[in-house]
Homo-oligomer: A and B are copies of this chain.
Amino acid sequence: MTTEEDADLDAVVAGVRERVDPAPEERERLTEAVDALTERVQEALADHDVTADVVQVGSTARGTWLAGDRDIDLFVRFPDELPREDLERLGLVVGRQVLPDGHEEFAEHPYVKGEFEGFDVDLVPCYDVPAATDIRSAVDRTPFHNAYLLDRLDDDLAGDVRVFKRFLKGIGVYGSDLRTKGFSGYLSELLVLEYGGFEPLLRAAADWQPPVEHDPEDHGTRTFDDPLVVVDPTDPERNVAAVLSADNVARLQHYARDLLADPREELFFPPERDRLSAEELEGHLDRRGTLPLAVAFDAPDVVEDQLYPQLEKSLHGVVAELDRRGFEPLRAASFASEGEDQPFDRAVLFVEVAIAELPKIQRHNGPPVHVRQHATGFYETYADSDVYGPFVDGDRYVVERDREFTTPESLLESDALFDVALGAQVKQQLKAEYEVLVGDDVVALTERFGVELRDYFDPTP
């Protein structure tokens, strides 16, 4: 890396910071909103006979949010001895009082989400436990994360966190939701802290040899089977990067090298990709010579973190069965379109196979002829049936008998689909209704899933 390239990277980072650093007015408005909300919560609490404090958490609490993000996370910490029913009830009562136009959402317990002076506010009840290892629900851990980072992130590092998070967003690996399986905000901040800034983190990531292990507090008590391990500074048993996929580690490595070799803001702010058109899809099918198949159905009424693991499991089940039946899946993906009355509308298991048709017969190996009882049983089973053989090959009997499914669509259209491992609610939906699209029929999917199909047929690292 020459000095000139260093200068290029510095200039790019400076350019990115200009776009992601919140302006003073934005910070001011945020502080005012948080103060007003905190006061409202305390007033609401005063109406009920309970002591609790209010903690602001999340990126807006630590100055690591990206300009324009408008999320305020306020946690109301109730005493440890409060029964869970009371915590849930009081959490909602206070939430509704503070955000009268808000609505309930559900994580490990219910909380209230609403708008306040242009900000999206989460008002979450949690327990005030002595340490992160004593938590009663996952949300209890958040204030500890918050405190740990607040103590360590100065303005410089907070700025680098914003650059790193923008980079992760740009390359598509930001977010610990179960669809993305990327880097959470907390993980991003710990990594910047661990490496002392964006650029050293970038250079290190370019050279990572997974498994890469960090234990900032040097207190880890177990081993993890993950490509990246960052032991939670507030919990020695927990890998902060547990959700992160190997793919996304590799992607960060790829783009870190790319950015170092050719620094450019475009990697932080990639242009939106066009939807794949029907004509483009047809062109790809022609160019590839594969057979695409799609199982399309109404998405179950569940949130993203429930839907995507089920789609993934179902897709894996379908791919494994197509493989076992000899159709050689080449690549596969699942899609879901946003719904109006429920989170998702229509879902698709999309598989491209190499083999469009198999022979009517298939080889079936019998036992070695010398295993007399077993062999005689096999021979007698097939001797008078409509198969080729039994004949001898090596030391075994062999027959060529009818194959159950000669095309992949006949498999997908049969009840055999329900014998594969499917997500529970996906299975329910499929049992009610589904459609199999084959070959050029999949062109119809470009209407709903043009963006996803662009990613599939014009894949980037």
Contacts and interface: CB of A to CB of B under 8 A. Distances in A.
B355 A250 contact: no
Interface in A347-392: 354-363, 368-370, 372, 376, 379, 388-392
A32 B363 CA distance: 56
A250 B362 CA distance: 22
A249 B396 CA distance: 11
Contact of A400 (B288, B363, B379): B288
Contacts of A62: none
A289 B254 contact: no
Nearest to A248: B392
A461 interface: yes
Interface residues of A, number: 54
A392 B257 CA distance: 14
A393 B245 CA distance: 10
A357 B288 CA distance: 12
A150 to B, nearest CB: 33
Interface stretch (A88-96, A112-120, A202-210): A202-210
A397 B227 contact: no
B461 A290 contact: no
A221 interface: no
A361 B328 CA distance: 13
Nearest to A394: B246
Contact of A250 (B287, B326, B358, B395): B395
Nearest to A393: B247
Given A250-B395, A288-B359, A290-B361, 14 more contacts: A210-B370, A247-B393, A250-B396, A254-B369, A289-B358, A289-B361, A289-B406, A290-B359, A330-B400, A354-B358, A355-B355, A355-B358, A390-B461, A391-B461
